[in-house]
A = this chain, B = another copy of it.
Amino acid sequence: MSNETIIDRCEARGLRMTGQRRVIAQVMEDARDHPDVEEIYARASAIDAAISLATVYRTVKLFEEVNILDRLEFGDGRARYEDADRDHHDHLFDLKTGEVIEFCDPEIEVLQEKIARRLGYELRGHKMELFGVRLKDG
């Protein structure tokens, strides 16, 4: 939750900054939602029409590997991405509508630490998330 931009963090990690990477970094910097790769590609294409889908895939994977982006899986078969450098929060995904709700609850934060510890995991530096699944019927 620093105020470095994604591009700053790329440079801090010594990534070679090509034009395409700058565009994708900017797209994710501006994103207030959780775009999937196709959507990131669409937004990047609006800035530089020459960017290829393969480059978007390679770049978000790279950014994820160096913890600049988080990959989210909501069970609809597509990976979604968001800026990793944000306050910790959880996601609730409505399987009916596809809507994603972000929220944060201090009790959950405490509980997550507790559970991780009980299970022998050291949560420090890792992330755990409450993943809400709303099934189709009652």
Contacts and interface: CB of A to CB of B under 8 A. Distances in A.
Interface residues of A, number: 36
A132 B111 contact: no
Chain A, interface SS category = mixed
A111 B105 contact: yes
Given A105-B111, A119-B103, A131 B131 contact: yes
B105 A108 contact: no
Contacts of A128: 92, 130-134
A136 B101 contact: no
Interface of A: 65, 67, 70-71, 73-75, 79, 92, 101, 103, 105, 107-108, 111-112, 115-116, 118-119, 121, 124-138
